[in-house]
Chains A and B, each alone.
Chain A
Amino acid sequence: KAGVTQTPRYLIKTRGQQVTLSCSPISGHRSVSWYQQTPGQGLQFLFEYFSETQRNKGNFPGRFSGRQFSNSRSEMNVSTLELGDSALYLCASSDPTSGGGETQYFGPGTRLLVL
């Protein structure tokens, strides 16, 4: 199976702009989670979608939003970008119906630089 893919891989934006990142999960995986990685805060959970519904949300401001489509592909949007939003944004997919613990498989990430 193909792995998790994310587009674009790199992005440069200026303060105040908005950005949309895309994630295609592993085929058959219906859960998609998003994380932000920064040097200071490490890997922080943003939100999780399953069957087009947001089931869980981390402690991020409302400028961070997402959605999931019927084919399980997901997008996240950041509006009114701030310098502190510069980070590696990671998407992970999993199959919650597989039983046992939920192993998440990550994409390569999107590196966002806000100037």
Chain B
Amino acid sequence: DQQVKQNSPSLSVQEGRISILNCDYTNSMFDYFLWYKKYPAEGPTFLISISSIKDKNEDGRFTVFLNKSAKHLSLHIVPSQPGDSAVYFCAASHIGSSNTGKLIFGQGTTLQVKP
């Protein structure tokens, strides 16, 4: 049972345009969501997060949107740069003694930004 899903394995965009990466979840108990960027054979790098009490969070070129009713979140990168080419993972967590320290990850979306 995959609780966090990234249905698009890959995405290709032109440099300077917007990249939109999507993520769906099934567990309504999730209350904290994160996006990570990952290069092969390296650890994930934290990009941006959002709490379930918000619907939007911005940090520079990165904006995360959360739609709780649809159980959907998205990451917008504007403008996209070639250095953004990587695998992007969304992750979710929820508070509770049985859930401490545990992030549940989607399968990842490979973003390619073409010059």
Contacts and interface: CB of A to CB of B under 8 A. Distances in A.
B29 interface: no
Given A56-B100, A103-B34, A42 B108 contact: yes
Contacts, number: 76
Interface stretch (A13-21, A78-86, A88-96): A88-96
Interface size, A (range) = 20 to 34
Contact of B93 (A42, A102, A111): A102
Given A50-B100, A50-B101, A96-B100, A43 B89 contact: yes
A69 to B, nearest CB: 17
A101 B32 contact: yes
Interface size, B (range) = 20 to 34
A104 B103 contact: yes
A101 to B, nearest CB: 3
Interface in B11-51: 31-32, 34, 36, 41-46, 49, 51
A47 B49 CA distance: 22
A97 to B, nearest CB: 12
Interface string A8-31: 000000000000000000000001
Chain B's interface: helix, strand, loop or mixed, by majority?
loop
28 contacts: A4-B43, A33-B101, A33-B102, A42-B105, A42-B106, A43-B105, A45-B101, A45-B102, A50-B101, A55-B97, A55-B101, A56-B98, A56-B100, A90-B43, A90-B44, A94-B101, A101-B34, A101-B49, A102-B32, A102-B93, A102-B101, A103-B34, A104-B46, A106-B46, A107-B43, A108-B42, A108-B43, A111-B41
Interface of B: 31-32, 34, 36, 41-46, 49, 51, 89, 91, 93, 97-108
